[in-house]
Amino acid sequence: MSELKKEIIRKSIHFIGLAYVPAYVYLGKEILIIGITAILTFSAVFEIFRLRYGILSFVVREYEKEKIGAYIYFGLATLIVTAVFPMEACFAAILVSIVGDGIGGIVKRLEFQHSGALATMIMVILPFALSLIFINPVPALSACIAGALVEKVERVGRYYIQDNLSVPLVAAAVYHSVNYILP
């Protein structure tokens, strides 16, 4: 299977997370936290079986075959963001992570000269455009830029930075901080 095809399959799973926004609006924060906790618990059990027996190992990248899958980090980040931040910051984090990183990741796998730069621009522009429907534009743009910048950081010293954890946390924190500072 080609790298692009694998990435599209991985990201299609990623895009299921867009159900977060209507779930938050219609079910509320408390029910959403319970739902995320349940999904994260199921995912952790699945992850144990995947690591032990190689079940559905195509859902992870090659470097994750022997490590915890990115979806566990994303689920943990989503749980933290939902518990700690107000709704608008959560929406910013989810849009940057799912839409920006999702489509940006697919574009990055396309083989042309500036696919990485285009992926970064998409990670800022697309979630920002979608966020205009829901949230304050200035903090949203700040969150999108911060998320795209953090996604570029792969290592700090000898430690690998898991962008599925760092991007949503930073995007939510930046959105909330900028929104707090603005009148």
CB 97 within 8 A of CB 171: yes
CA-based end-to-end distance of the chain: 51
pLDDT value at residue 44: 92
CA–CA gap between residue 20 and residue 14 (Å, rounded): 11
pLDDT value at residue 165: 93
Rounded to 5°, the CA angle 162-173-15 comes to: 55
Q: What is the pLDDT of residues 59-91, one digit of tens each?
A: 666 666 678 878 899 999 999 999 999 999 999
Model confidence band, residue 3 (pLDDT cutoffs 50, 70, 90): low
State the average pLDDT for the chain. 86
Q: What is the pLDDT of residues 6-25, one digit of tens each?
A: 667 666 767 788 899 999 99
In the chain, % of residues over pLDDT 90: 47
Q: What is the pLDDT of residues 83-129, one digit of tens each?
A: 999 999 999 999 999 888 788 877 777 777 777 788 888 888 998 99
Mean pLDDT of 37-61: 82
Instruction: Report the 10 Å Cβ neighbour count for 70.
Output: 19
Rounded to 5°, the CA angle 71-74-78 comes to: 135
Model confidence band, residue 153 (pLDDT cutoffs 50, 70, 90): confident
Per DSSP (E only), the strands in the chain are 155-156, 159-160
